[in-house]
Amino acid sequence: MINDTFKRIQVRAMAMMQNTSTSTTNANDLLPKVKDWARTRYDRILRSFPWNELNRSYTLPIVASTRDYSLRYSLDQIIKIWDTTNGKEITALDVRDHVRFNAIINEVSGNVQTGVADNYIDIGSKSCSALLSTADKIQVLSSSASDVTPMVIRITGEVSGIEVSESLTLTGVTAVDSKNPFDSGTELTISAGTSNGSLQDLAGVVTVREKTTPANILGKLSAGERAPFFKWIRLSLMPSAAASYQVWYKKRWMPLINDNDVPIIPCANELVEGIVADALWEDGQVAGAQAQEGKFVNSVMSLWISCRPRNLIKQIVPDNGEPQSYGQRNLYNLGDSY
């Protein structure tokens, strides 16, 4: 296994294509295409298998009488949630099962039950990590003085119950206010772009916050990001007391942007194989592209096999579909075979 910087991956791929030009003065230059192919292949590799290199965990504080929580910015998929305060697993509950088995009891108006939560429901991803605590204007600012016009942050939310959008032109590290005060409890949709249609990326981290209470952060965009996503969950039952959860998750990866960025897994060789395949497809060399595509697939498979414990096979049996308590699992693990 070998890893390399984004720049070296580009150079290696272009050398295999017998094109070492790094000029970017022409829209048809090869280098911008190579960068895009590398990012696409990188995304494809990471989505193909559950790489252990993406496993992470953190502590989520639970507050009494609060059911909905946005999870860590870097979280892509939940692996497991463990209630360290009460010593039990918080199991996933499909929203359809929640409505079928629990909502009639727990969700009836005036009959919300409280206690120690048993389950969580995935209620989707939002581009904000918090809802507005009060009707207020929005402020945006960057950690970099380089984020100025034409860079804009697009904000969409409800104003007096009507969905309204604003584009706020960044002025570097100085906060910019929205024209409209957005409604209390509003879920904002946040994205980054430009006012003149040019393709540019953020240089710094952009913070979106309430104006009156700047400590209330509603969302953040990292450098090079166009739209943030935060996964949200809802607990059932309504927590009656504070608790601490350990959340194990798959990390969300960021695209390769800077020349000195490195892939999160050692897949430099695999990226080079994939970039060359894309170049052959672009050039209309179908037979060569198909052969190169096979090399890419085989190299990714070999990388995956090399990263796994030898001869480890999980033995599991699906359940019968009946509703389960917190002590049960959707799949019964019968152990490992070697």
Taking a C-beta distance cutoff of 8 angstroms, is the pair 237, 106 a contact? yes
pTM over 0.75: yes
Taking a C-beta distance cutoff of 8 angstroms, is the pair 152, 170 a contact? yes
The per-residue pLDDT string of the chain (338 residues; one tens digit each, 9 = 90 and over) reads 678 999 999 999 988 887 544 444 555 578 889 999 999 999 999 999 989 999 999 999 999 999 999 999 999 999 999 999 999 999 998 766 655 545 555 555 555 678 899 999 998 899 999 999 999 999 999 999 999 999 999 999 999 999 999 999 999 999 999 999 999 999 999 999 999 988 888 999 999 999 999 999 999 998 888 888 899 999 988 899 999 999 999 998 888 988 999 999 999 999 999 999 999 998 888 999 999 999 999 999 999 988 877 666 655 555 555 544 444 444 444 444 44
Q: In the chain, count of helices (H) and strands (E)?
A: 6, 18
- Please work out, in degrees rounded to the nearest 5, the angle formed at the alpha carbon of residue 113 by the alpha carbons of 109 and 115: 160
**CB-count burial class (<10 Å; 0-12, 13-18, 19+) for 277:** buried
